[in-house]
A and B are shown apart, each in its own frame.
Chain A
Amino acid sequence: MSLELTTLLIFLSSIFAGVVGSILGLGGGIIIVPALTLLFGLDITTAVAASAVSVIATSSGAAVAYLKKGISNTRIAILLQVGTTMGALTGALLAGLLDPRWIFILFGLLMGYSAYAMYQARRTEVPDSVVSDRLAQRLRLEGVYYDQALDRLVEYGVTRTVPGMALMYGSGTVAGLLGIGAGAFKVLAMDQVMGLPIKVSTATSNYMIGVTAASSALIYFIRGDIQALVAGPTALGVLVGAMIGARLMVRMKGSTIRTLFIPVLLVIAVQMIWKGAMM
């Protein structure tokens, strides 16, 4: 394959990753890493480094639209970010010290169970009457946004704030160890634990993933793992995809997003259990 063609193909497949990632609040690493290694034959270090850049591109590319539409909740994002960044740090420190096999299998099973829970709740547009807990009230985490698909304002409460943060810490640790699943766990914690509407969950997760990825991307820069001809077209493609995805997502029904989420959760669950079992 010529250099021009490879660059173009990386760009085009990254658009797809950006669309999927921005709608579901994931980094798109589950698409980018296999695409770069399997389709383009790149080594895993280069692919993972490009994937960290692509997570940031997904996050920032979609964030402009989500901020303007008021769908992402920046207060919840920054609060939960304490948990995820501390978790990522713990994961980085534990790597090599701990046999992560059982953690992978445990979280893989948890992810599989979440796919089932998501399937059961697949028709839910907006959770009804979530009463905010005391901490959420004190920190003013509740919010309101205009839902284009439902054509009405959606007011939402936030519950189980502390368990939500604890799950963020756990998922941050796992993501730091394994390198996948960070975005999916954020969405699940907000949707299934804290009772947020699915669109708020994915948009807020999308907002958060860039911040955690920024520190890993910086580390890859320092190590010299970021290659211009790989990370460049990936970043551009993902940016374009994320802008398209964000525009699609604001018009989508919550139930559609839930349905799209189920197979992705299953894939991540299988990946995690597989990696754990293979260790």
Chain B
Amino acid sequence: MNLIEDRIAIILKLGLILSSSLIGIGLASLLTGFESAWGQWLVTAGLVVLVATPILRVVMALFGYLMERDFTFVMISLSVLLILVVGVWVGAPH
């Protein structure tokens, strides 16, 4: 397995463990009615971490290509990130 893929897989796994623990604990406290506001907050935090994982993959790949001095793919990764930012900006309510 390639070094870049290896690193992305590790980071991804950590992100998923963090996200699912937050969502799991949050849901448990929401359903038991114990600390509902806190539960809501935990689930939301877990979902935010989950949503961040794909973006993190692109960023990790970007650094990987940078280390390999593969500048064509550095530019490609950068443009994907840029288009994503523009997409959120366009889609978000103003």
Contact = CB atoms under 8 A, between A and B. Distances in A.
Interface string B37-64: 0011001101110111111011001000
Q: Is the interface of B mostly helix, strand, loop or mixed?
A: helix
Contacts of A63: 8-9, 12, 57
Which interface residue of A60, A68, A236 has the most chain B CB atoms within 10 A? Answer: A60
A92 B90 CA distance: 8
A88 interface: yes
Q: Is the interface of A mostly helix, strand, loop or mixed?
A: helix
Nearest to A57: B50
Given A67-B9, A78-B61, A236 B84 contact: no
A231 B45 CA distance: 12
B9 A68 contact: yes
A270 to B, nearest CB: 28
Nearest to A211: B54
12 contacts: A64-B12, A67-B12, A81-B58, A82-B76, A88-B87, A211-B57, A211-B84, A215-B88, A219-B91, A228-B26, A228-B27, A235-B19
Interface of B: 1-2, 4-6, 8-9, 12-13, 15-16, 19-20, 23-24, 26-27, 30-31, 39-40, 43-44, 46-48, 50-55, 57-58, 61, 72-73, 76-77, 79-80, 83-84, 86-88, 90-93
Interface of A: 3-4, 7, 53, 56-57, 59-61, 63-64, 67-68, 70, 74-75, 78-79, 81-82, 85-86, 88-89, 92-93, 139, 207, 210-211, 213-219, 221-223, 226, 228-229, 231-233, 235-236, 239
